[in-house]
Amino acid sequence: MDAGGEHAPVLLPQVLAALNVRGNGVYLDATFGRGGHAEAILENLVAGGRLVCIDRDPVAVAEARRRFAGDARVSVFLARFSSLASCADRVEPGLKFDGMLFDLGVSSPQLDDARRGFSFMRDGPLDMRMSPAEGPSAADIVNRLPAAELARIFREFGEERHASRIARAIVADRATRPFERTSELAGLISRVTRSHERGKHPATRVFQALRIYVNGELDELEAALEASLARLAPRGRLVVISFHSLEDRIVKRFMRRHATTDPVYAGLPSVPRDAAPKLRLVGRGVTADEMETARNPRARSARLRVAERLTEELAV
């Protein structure tokens, strides 16, 4: 597979400011992709600084290893970001980060490579796995699950209005021949959905839903956010860029929940350490300006949220 391909990092100056990069700090890029953010973080690090890079896609990791070979500041892991604690421990037991970046979703090279099967615009095998050896592919899901379960996936992860109709049509069609190609599924969706949203391919929502389901994206995000708390150094920054409302809702709720005292203790003179806030919200959600969205259409749906780890003294 081609390790090349371009990916323009979104909200780059805002990410660097949010991470508050210090030359000898320790940073995690949990979603290396093509390293646009990683490269910029690294430019700000001196010899004592560290950057840990994670991606679950072997093509992205091969690119990271090639790019940073021989740079003692960088460690690269082929892993899910929910396992960030064990990656950190492999660098140094108990390692904590001054900043962590999650730039969620898929990269442009993943979308652009038809062989990965993410795109309804390019014909390829109906795969959609970020880590091609891991778990069932989109074709396995589409060809095996009952109609009710497919409809639930399209509704829950794609907010697709025609979920049941599309699911029933899939089940009817696959009885004759299983779905193997992205174009076969995209074609069926175009045929069975009558109303078309302007500027949006009718398969957009179903493809998003399948991708989220195949990669367990929302569970991964929840697990990684929980894991981040124990690995952020005092005043360490948690920086997350999400690309749709399902992700953003998880991020917003997580940050808010940990930025407030457990309501059970509201108004009481002392609060147990576990119930005290662990995070401080830094600003509100940030979106890309017109210049960036004109240059990079991916940035249109990006939303950046930032929180800072409180020290225990600050929290109580």
Binding residues for ligand SAM, per CB under 6 A? 7, 9, 31, 33-37, 54-57, 60, 80-81, 103, 105-107, 130, 220
Write down the least CB distance from residue 57 to ligand SAM, Å: 4
Q: Could you tell me the smallest distance in angstroms from the CB atom of residue 83 to ligand SAM?
A: 8
Least CB distance to ligand SAM at residue 56 (A) = 4
Q: Which is nearer to ligand SAM, 33 or 202 (CB)?
A: 33
Cβ-contact 209, 156 below 8 angstroms: yes
Half-sphere exposure of 11 (CA within 13 A, CB side): 28
In whole angstroms, the minimum distance from the beta carbon of 229 to ligand SAM comes to 17
Compute the distance between CA of residue 248 and CA of residue 84 in angstroms, rounded to an integer.
20
Contacts of 303 (CB under 8 A, 6+ apart): 241, 242, 243, 248, 285, 286, 287
Which is closer to ligand SAM, CB of 7 or CB of 237? 7
Contact residues for 59 (Cβ-Cβ < 8 A; gap 6+) = 1, 2, 3, 109, 110
Question: Under a CB-based contact definition with an 8 Å cutoff, are residues 191 and 170 in contact?
Answer: no
Shortest Cβ distance from residue 32 to ligand SAM (Å)? 6
Q: How far apart are CA 307 and CA 240, in angstroms?
A: 9
CB of 6 to ligand SAM, least distance (A): 9
d(CA 103, CA 302): 9
Q: Which residue is nearest to ligand SAM (CB)?
A: 33
Q: Least distance from C-beta 238 to ligand SAM, angstroms?
A: 15
Closest CA to 306 of 25, 26, 16, 49: 16
Read off the tokens for 294.
């004109």
Alpha-carbon torsion (278, 279, 280, 284), positive or negative? negative
